[in-house]
Structure 1
Amino acid sequence: MKKTLPIAMSNRHIHLSQKDLDILFGEGYELTKFKDLSQPGQYACEEKVDTVGPKGTIKGVRILGPVRGESQYEVSVSDAFALGVKPVIRNSGDIEDTPGVKLVGPKGEVELDKGVIVAARHIHMHTSDAEEFDVKDKDIVSIKVDGPRGLTFDNVLVRVSDKFALEMHVDIEEGNASGIKNGDMVELVK
């Protein structure tokens, strides 16, 4: 029996620490929820910032909440080239030895010395989903995409938590290359 799950594309976005949020928007600032995301407790914010790299600027980059311990800017490979930084593919949270950029907000600017990543493809799974799919946290699997531009995504990290909802995430370029739409069903292949 096929084991399928929904897939979604992730566009560029920023996760901010409270310290950086305070500098960019003012001391004690709280993010304003724009809409909930598929993962419980995660949301897109009304707030946006401009990002400035050695070669170019990307304006109006959406912030995702809630705040995190360290700031992280997730981009596509094309975004990295536009900014003039080396595209480094990493799992979320793994920001050591990654490039930085300048963030420009309405009240101030922050120079990130690290934190710009191309997010590695990954699957969020609730613990009950992991049992059903017979996988565990940090397993590496493949995902088969059907259709006219069908392909297989290899090296997909499985992340398991009782706080997650079942969904695979790829960046916008990977999603467009495979012809998927948010919510399409894909097959997990071990």
Structure 2
Amino acid sequence: MEEKVLQQKVREVLKKIKSIIKIPVGISNHHIHLTESDYKKLFPNEEIKIKRELNQPGEFASEQTVTIKGTKGKIERVRILGPFRAHSQVELSLTDTRKLGIKVPIRLSGNLTNTPGIDLESKYGSLHLDDGVIVAKRHIHMSEEEAALLGVKKGDTVSVLVNSDERSVVFNDVEIRPGKKFKLEMHLDTDEANAGNISRESFGKIID
């Protein structure tokens, strides 16, 4: 009985902690991650240049942009994010996929099995990716210490309430992504943010 009581108290404490901690919201517009070799095909003899640092340590938006082309349309000035990755990846919103005329799965970053490809074009040349196009699944980055404090682990899913002017929204199935270098931040795409009138000043709270 004592063990059951203790477990219940632990659950109550964790629930209270989750309700108190405010999670900053990051809004991701369409963007591209490239391998170094793919980058050099699009920008030969041009070093990648940092435009601004991103919230997650070591990550940045570059000065370089490309045009992406689908079967029905194209999107210009899609920014490349750094540093270079082991596999090139294009992250879009569902609205983007309809404009381009391609069917794209909702996946976590790096889960690229059976994903469609796309054509990229820079001022220097073009490149076809055979795969790597996804709509990013909403998720929360956090440090391993924050994950322990919140009583969650990699792969867990939670529900998050984001309060905004006149359009508070509960997002279900938000995946937990802890890491040694991660900072606490929930990532939504532009479709999700627009649906809730959410800005980069918004915060979320785990409610379940």
Question: TM-score, normalization: structure 2?
Answer: 0.87
Percent of paired sites with the same residue: 42
Once the two structures are superposed, the pairs formed by residues 30-45 of structure 1 within 5 Å of their partners are 30-45=47-62
Q: Find the counterpart in structure 1 of residue 6 from structure 2.
A: none
Aligned residues: 189
1:126 equivalenced with 2:143 (yes/no)? yes
How far apart are the structure 1 equivalents of 2:30 and 2:90? 7
1:85-164 paired onto structure 2 within 5 Å: 85-147=102-164, 148-164=166-182
CA displacement, residues 78-101 of structure 1 (integer Å, 9 cap, x when unaligned): 100111100311100111111111
Runs of 4+ in structure 1 off by over 2 angstroms are none
Of 87, 94, 113, the match for 1:70:
87
Unpaired runs of 5+ residues, structure 1, are none
> Residue 26 of structure 2 corresponds to which residue in structure 1?
8
Specify which structure has the higher proportion of strand: 1
Q: Aligned residue for 2:185? A: 167
Deviates more, 1:103-112 or 1:170-179: 103-112
> Highest CA radius of gyration, 1 or 2?
2
Q: CA deviation at 1:30?
A: 2.8
- Report the alpha carbon displacement of residue 111 of structure 1 after superposing the two structures with TM: 0.6
CA RMSD of aligned residues (A): 1.2
Amino acid at match of 1:6: P
The separation in 2 between residues aligned to 1:87 and 1:184, in whole angstroms, is 28
Unaligned runs of 5+ in 2: 1-15
